[in-house]
């Protein structure tokens, strides 16, 4: 890990960035004519092979950056990308095929189809929390759609960034895929260029900056953002199942997951049992004491000192304002360690009720009236995910019908990210557009309309508008309008 930590390529300068963009731009049009399915599949195969060859480096890099457990890296960084490649290869022929479109009476005599075509040179800006997954996953969709791409990994996980660069350089030439490393200044320079599409994963605040920059070049965007994903535990929930799934979804990656449960509304009738079950599950998974939790290899760390201070301050603010710490709260700045923390008796004046937590803090809020819970959810920006635990289907259905979110999980958390046939994306503040599978392919594609004249009679409605033409137009409007 010490060797990995020493890897650094340094930030790219403005000339390097412009040169990389122009290289891909020059290669775009000659390549497009020969960019058939076979070529795209070969690119995906090279990518998969490079990931597999570098799997140990990915594991070591994530451990060096924030002590991410090896098995968690395999499950959340490597597997999703390899699954995406496999799924895409299997379905790519169908996705690329022009779709025939039936004519209506108004355009009778024409033949229509929709052809997906590559958007062109794309920019992928990846976050630090799942650095490999969220850099290379969108790349699968970009390549499948026939594009070239520049990837900007996060500077906050430098070791993972280096491995991403190694994988890309092994698998691709720079005119197809290029990794550019650096800080916010590098991102700003990239965003000033007229890319054909930008895929950004990160916070809503930065997403607004990306969208503003894209607007200057009228560049299309896919924004995978975040927010405070609420969880509702109903009166008829299976408490053990709810505790198991919430603890995994919340504390995997040390809570640094955009679709992690942010806070839990639990019905007052089952609240005592639920709180006991959650505490027991934390101890079962991560250790009986804070010391054991610090020692276990299965518990990640906060990514850096700045975020450690932010999360610790959330806990201290809640404590100072009267919250009850049911479990956890222990910290160690030397390791960026924060124990899995459960907080009760929270109030609206606490920072934990206002900010996206993005750390191992789980507020538990008792409720009696589900209508008031729904009102609270709707009073906040639309979340990326909403989780509901209850055996009663109608209970879940009413919450789904009366709220808006990017996705809903019933009696589970986070797993919908791994479903390649589902769109992954948010709504408004939590995102624009979708990723994964065919939805990702479409995000990186322009759906081109092609309409062909066969034996249409629309020319009979063209000017000069004689009496006959006027009568025909009136008939068309009356009958077909």
For residue 211, what are its two tokens? 């969208």
What is 48-92 written as a DSSP string?
HHHHHHTHHHHHHHHHHHH---HHHHIIIIIHHHHHHHHHHHHHH
Angle CA 179–91–137, to nearest 5: 25
Q: Is 183 helix (H, G, I), strand (E, B) or coil?
A: coil
Which residues pair with residue 204 across a beta bridge?
Answer: none
Whole-number Å distance between alpha carbons of 421 and 387: 19
CA-CA distance, 39 to 27, in Å (whole number)?
Answer: 15
CA 227 to chain centre: 12
Strand boundaries in 126-192, DSSP class E:
148-152, 177-179
62 is catalytic: no
**Residues with Cβ < 8 Å from 415, sequence gap 6 or more?**
409
Query: Can you tell me the distance from the alpha carbon of 239 to that of 269, in angstroms, rounded to the nearest whole number?
Result: 12
**Quick check: 105 and 158 in contact, CB under 8 A?**
no
Is 224 catalytic? The answer is yes
- Whether the Cβ atoms of residue 166 and residue 61 lie closer than 8 Å to each other: no
Catalytic residue among 62, 122, 258, 300: 258
Query: Using the 8-state DSSP alphabet, how is residue 462 labeled?
Result: P
CA-wise closest residue to 194 among 246, 119, 294: 119
SS3 of residue 137 by DSSP = helix
CA distances from 411 to 54, 193, 281, 393, 415 (A): 35, 44, 16, 11, 11
Catalytic residue among 72, 224, 281, 438: 224
CA 161 to chain centre: 18
Which tokens go with 306?
Answer: 């700045």
Task: With residue 269 as reference, give the H or E element that holds it.
Answer: none
The catalytic residue positions are: 224, 258
């Amino acid at each position: 890990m010490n060797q990995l930590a020493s890897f650094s390529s340094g930030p790219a300068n403005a000339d390097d960035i412009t040169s990389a963009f122009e290289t891909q731009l020059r290669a775009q049009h000659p390549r497009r004519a020969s960019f058939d399915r076979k070529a795209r599949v070969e690119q995906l195969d090279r990518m998969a092979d490079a990931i597999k060859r570098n799997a140990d480096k990915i594991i070591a890099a994530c451990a060096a950056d924030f002590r991410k457990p090896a098995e968690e890296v395999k499950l959340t960084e490597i597997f999703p990308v390899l699954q995406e490649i496999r799924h895409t290869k299997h379905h790519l022929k169908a996705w690329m095929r022009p779709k025939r479109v039936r004519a209506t009476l108004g355009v009778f005599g024409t033949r229509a189809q929709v052809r997906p075509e590559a958007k062109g040179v794309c920019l992928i800006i990846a976050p630090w929390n799942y650095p490999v997954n969220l850099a290379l996953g969108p790349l699968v969709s970009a390549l499948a759609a026939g594009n070239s791409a520049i990837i900007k990994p996060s500077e906050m996980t430098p070791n993972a960034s280096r491995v991403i660069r190694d994988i890309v350089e092994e698998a691709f030439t720079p005119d197809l895929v290029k990794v550019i490393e650096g800080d916010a200044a590098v991102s700003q320079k990239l965003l000033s260029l007229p890319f054909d599409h930008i895929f950004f994963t990160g916070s809503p605040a930065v997403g607004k900056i990306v969208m503003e920059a894209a607007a200057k070049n009228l560049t299309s965007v896919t924004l995978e953002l975040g927010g405070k994903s609420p969880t509702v535990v109903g009166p008829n929930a299976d408490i053990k199942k709810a505790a198991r799934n919430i603890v995994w979804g919340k504390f995997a990656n040390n809570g640094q997951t955009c679709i992690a449960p942010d806070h839990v509304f639990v019905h007052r009738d089952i609240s005592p049992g639920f709180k006991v079950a959650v505490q027991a599950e934390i101890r079962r998974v991560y250790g009986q004491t804070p010391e054991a939790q610090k020692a276990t290899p299965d518990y990640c760390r906060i990514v850096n000192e700045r975020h450690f201070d932010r999360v610790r301050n959330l806990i201290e603010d809640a404590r100072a304002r009267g919250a009850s710490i049911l479990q956890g709260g222990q910290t160690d700045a030397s390791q960026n360690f924060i124990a899995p923390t459960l907080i009760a008796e929270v109030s609206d004046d606490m920072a934990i009720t206002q900010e996206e937590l993005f750390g191992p803090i789980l507020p538990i809020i008792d409720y009696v009236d589900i209508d008031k819970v729904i009102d609270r959810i709707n009073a906040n920006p639309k979340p990326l995910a909403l989780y509901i635990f209850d055996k009663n289907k109608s209970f879940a259905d009413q919450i789904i019908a009366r709220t808006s979110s990017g996705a809903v999980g019933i009696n589970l958390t986070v797993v919908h990210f791994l479903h390649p046939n589902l769109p992954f994306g948010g709504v408004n503040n939590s995102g624009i557009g979708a990723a994964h599978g065919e939805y990702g392919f479409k995000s990186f594609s322009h759906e081109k309309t092609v309409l062909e004249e066969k034996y249409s009679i629309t020319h009979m409605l063209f000017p000069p508008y004689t009496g006959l033409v006027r009568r025909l137009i009136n008939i068309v409007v009356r009958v077909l309008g």
